[in-house]
Structure 1
Amino acid sequence: MNVSETLSEVKNYIDGKFERNGQNSMDVLSPLDGSKISSIPLSTIQDVDSAVQAAKKAFPSWSDMTFKERVQIFFRYRTLLEKNMEELTELVQLENGKTYGEAKAEVEKSMELCEFAVSIPQIITNEVQEVSKGVECRIERKPLGVVASITPFNFPNMVPHWTLPNALVLGNTMVMKPSELVPLSTVRMAELLKEAGLPDGVFNIVNGGKEVVEAICDHEDIKAVSFVGSTKVAKIVYKRATSNLKRCVALGGAKNHLLVLPDANPEMTASNVVASMSGCAGQRCMAASVMVGVDKVQHIIDRMVEEAKTIIPGENLGSVITKEAKERIEGYIAEAEKNGAKILLDGRNATVKGKEGGYYVGPTIIDYVTTDMSVAREEIFGPVISILRAKDLDEAIEIENGSNYGNAAAVFTQSGGLAKQVMERASAGMIGVNIGVPVPREPFSFGGWNESKFGVGDITGRSSIEFWTQNKKTTIKWNPEAKTNWMS
């Protein structure tokens, strides 16, 4: 497939074939300029069932393969990701609006996720022990069966790889529902997986909206569901999936607090905070959303403003995903200004020459925000940071702890003792010290706390192995002459 060729329509991928059954459709627009780039089918319950039946049929032979046979496919697939790097990068840019560097980094992270998946056989060797004379107990990890992954718009290549490689290497088969806003990357993934040798039916794609999500949560043959998206929808998916007796891990939104102390390195802090709030146009659950300035940090704020002025929409700042997203983000800025906050840098009404139909918001820094304002409490999901002031570290931590979310928090300081206080007391699943985007790398897992995650365990790394498998315990006795004891 050549990215320069407009994709007239996206099709579902079921049992190794792309198909469309005459459903209603929805246009897919590029946020770069607002142009139509494709359309997707608004699939039905019947389409979901077709995908599940294909995955169910493929499961016995796929799960019966050895780990070595399964990982060989993902070795080849990882190589194909690298071989097709430019094309995959362009796809992410086209459908999501990221800059070239951000899109390429996303594909590189997908490769890293595959590298972890192919290491899984070295991690989960079975446990065996002679628990009594002549009696052996064994624990083996077994796949669940058909599983599902519902993925978001903000990382169309990377987030599917949070679940796909691990779940499949562990022996499951999968139905994936990508965001209806960014379906193109997932299509290409399916093609590359088939080229790598993945058997038909092991991986299936069903496009669409709410009806597809509900059908996944309700289908009796789907054993586990992963979800990444807003907290509002994550709650709904988690409740619906678990009420149907499925495993579920659902990652929601975030309101990440960066605590900046007076002794922080000004240059490093300013560049890190601004990069965190503006990277991927702020459309990531690890973005800096609130800066809590502790005591005398005006010199750092001034430097942040100057740093942010070098970030230009259409050059080193990508678009937001839709026109509605742009309007919502700018509405938050207007509301903060109306309620008395001071706009230090205003990114509203941004346009890019030659792409006037695109959806751009410039970097925005809002000072003198109070905890009751919407910009301090709600996820904006744009290149916007709100600055709150605290008299000391205790007050700053209290502000952070007051958030309903708990994805990430960070502290900027040169004091190990103060950093340790934040590490111990911040109510978040991922903590950074002098790092604006504290994303763990493999094999460490990704996942937040509070209303940023619902379910047990994390979605990546070692923790994901627990989610995608179940333990089979076997007790064996062969020797009838063994000494009689309590196990006999």
Structure 2
Amino acid sequence: SAKTGEGVDGLVDAIIEHPDIKGISFVGSSAIAEYIYSGGTANGKRVQAFGGAKNHGVVLPDADLDQVVNDLTGAAFGSAGERCMALPVVVPVGEDTAERLREKLIPAINGLQVGVSTDPDAHYGPVVTEQHKQTVENWIAKCAEEGGELVIDGRGLELQGTDGWFVGPTLFDHVKPDFESYKEEIFGPVLQMVRAADFDEAVRLPSDHQYGNGVAIFTRNGHAAREFAARVNVGMVGVNVPIPVPVSYHTFGGWKRSGFGDIDQHGPDGIRFWTKAKKVTQRWPDGSAAGDHKEAFVIPTMG
């Protein structure tokens, strides 16, 4: 945690409290983001503070499942799942959709190649540290203990000639919203399937989650997509876009515990954060003869 003390913790508080530092931009865990936002704003600073995520991909019955599977494997497992816009939760609507999606997902996930970064055939590489590898594998064990069906287990992956921190692609089915492993961000190559009975439940799942960074909906129905985008309580929505990151001339930012305050990144908010507007009001004399001037006790106008 970021508390006053020595080393990194002391540095965090020094930044928060230093009078010459006018703004702080932070990306990390939600607990630290909230700490920095609260402390920074209390000291009169402008703060961008972005936390964790648990992005959902909602799959309606009319979706193109071949395209969905292609999108999901990249969004869930790319970069070993270590990105704030990864898609670690898939929400098929209806049992038939879930079964058809599962049937297509299993061979696609089993076909993913894990390897070193120099391997052109590798879809992703190791996780960031040995400690994080253990954390991810602990979450896999936790989800199984909670009752999730471990369809594909990525633990224990070993590559010949390497001693890296590799975790294979992992798939869970029948995950429930009360699982701790669903509530928290795993930040690894783990995809959890949470089945929704209907459209309303599919809207409610990401809306009720503590994180609200991004969400995607896969459908051919424009009305359903518009209804979902309007109702879901999440900051960034993708329609048939698995990683809903807007291009950088639009703002980027999540809601709830994914982002604190009202200043996002990029776009107009990025300019607003990194600059400070100055207002200059001017009037130039027209050279009238002395004595023509009248006292003005009103706010300047454009007249």
Q: TM-score, normalised by structure 2?
A: 0.88
Question: Shift of the alpha carbon at 1:247?
Answer: 0.7
Partner of 1:434: 240
- Kindly provide the CA deviation profile for residues 387-417 of structure 1, in whole angstroms up to 9, marking residues without a partner as x: 1111111011111111011100000111111
- For residue 279 of structure 2, give the secondary structure of its aligned residue in structure 1: strand
Partner of 2:198: 392
Matched, 1:349 2:156: yes
- For residue 398 of structure 1, give the secondary structure of its aligned residue in structure 2: helix
Give runs of aligned pairs for residues 438-449 of structure 1, distance below 5 A: 438-449=244-255
Question: Shift of the alpha carbon at 1:442?
Answer: 2.1
Give runs of aligned pairs for residues 221-240 of structure 1, distance below 5 A: 221-240=20-39
Q: TM-score, normalised by structure 1?
A: 0.56
2:12 corresponds, among 213, 219, 226, to 213
Structure 1: gaps spanning 5 or more residues: 1-43, 46-207
Query: Which letter maps to 1:313?
Result: V
Is residue 55–residue 89 contact of structure 2 (8 Å, CA) maintained in 1? yes
Give runs of aligned pairs for residues 161-180 of structure 1, distance below 5 A: none
Structure 2: gaps spanning 5 or more residues: 116-121
Is residue 313–residue 350 contact of structure 1 (8 Å, CA) maintained in 2? no
Partner of 1:364: 170
Distance 1:415-1:221 versus aligned 2 partners, 3 A rule: same
Partner of 2:107: 306
The structure in which a higher percent of residues are helix is: 1
- For residue 390 of structure 1, give the secondary structure of its aligned residue in structure 2: coil
Matched, 1:450 2:249: no
- Kindly provide the CA deviation profile for residues 146-189 of structure 1, in whole angstroms up to 9, marking residues without a partner as x: xxxxxxxxxxxxxxxxxxxxxxxxxxxxxxxxxxxxxxxxxxxx
1:324 corresponds, among 128, 131, 134, to 131
- For residue 250 of structure 1, give the secondary structure of its aligned residue in structure 2: strand
Provide the C-alpha distance between the structure 2 equivalents of 1:340 and 1:265, rounded to a whole number of angstroms.
29
Partner of 1:5: none
Provide the C-alpha distance between the structure 1 equivalents of 2:87 and 2:293, rounded to a whole number of angstroms.
64
- Kindly provide the CA deviation profile for residues 312-360 of structure 1, in whole angstroms up to 9, marking residues without a partner as x: 221222111111211111111111112221111111111222112x111
Is residue 347–residue 364 contact of structure 1 (8 Å, CA) maintained in 2? yes
Matched, 1:262 2:61: yes
Question: Shift of the alpha carbon at 1:264?
Answer: 0.7
Partner of 1:278: 77
- For residue 275 of structure 1, give the secondary structure of its aligned residue in structure 2: helix
- Kindly provide the CA deviation profile for residues 100-138 of structure 1, in whole angstroms up to 9, marking residues without a partner as x: xxxxxxxxxxxxxxxxxxxxxxxxxxxxxxxxxxxxxxx
Is residue 270–residue 301 contact of structure 1 (8 Å, CA) maintained in 2? no
Provide the C-alpha distance between the structure 1 equivalents of 2:255 and 2:149, rounded to a whole number of angstroms.
31
Provide the C-alpha distance between the structure 2 equivalents of 1:487 and 1:415, rounded to a whole number of angstroms.
54
Give runs of aligned pairs for residues 65-80 of structure 1, distance below 5 A: none
Provide the C-alpha distance between the structure 2 equivalents of 1:432 and 1:483, rounded to a whole number of angstroms.
61
Query: Which letter maps to 1:306?
Result: P
Query: Which letter maps to 1:368?
Result: H
Is residue 375–residue 386 contact of structure 1 (8 Å, CA) maintained in 2? no
Is residue 258–residue 288 contact of structure 1 (8 Å, CA) maintained in 2? yes
Question: Shift of the alpha carbon at 1:455?
Answer: 2.0
Question: Shift of the alpha carbon at 1:246?
Answer: 0.8
Provide the C-alpha distance between the structure 1 equivalents of 2:80 and 2:165, rounded to a whole number of angstroms.
11
Provide the C-alpha distance between the structure 2 equivalents of 1:435 and 1:478, rounded to a whole number of angstroms.
54
Question: Shift of the alpha carbon at 1:483?
Answer: 8.9
Question: Shift of the alpha carbon at 1:214?
Answer: 2.2
Give runs of aligned pairs for residues 391-410 of structure 1, distance below 5 A: 391-410=197-216
Provide the C-alpha distance between the structure 1 equivalents of 2:10 and 2:113, rounded to a whole number of angstroms.
39
CA RMSD of aligned residues (A): 1.8
Partner of 1:204: none
The structure in which a higher percent of residues are strand is: 1
Query: Which letter maps to 1:338?
Result: E
Matched, 1:338 2:137: no
Provide the C-alpha distance between the structure 2 equivalents of 1:326 and 1:354, rounded to a whole number of angstroms.
18
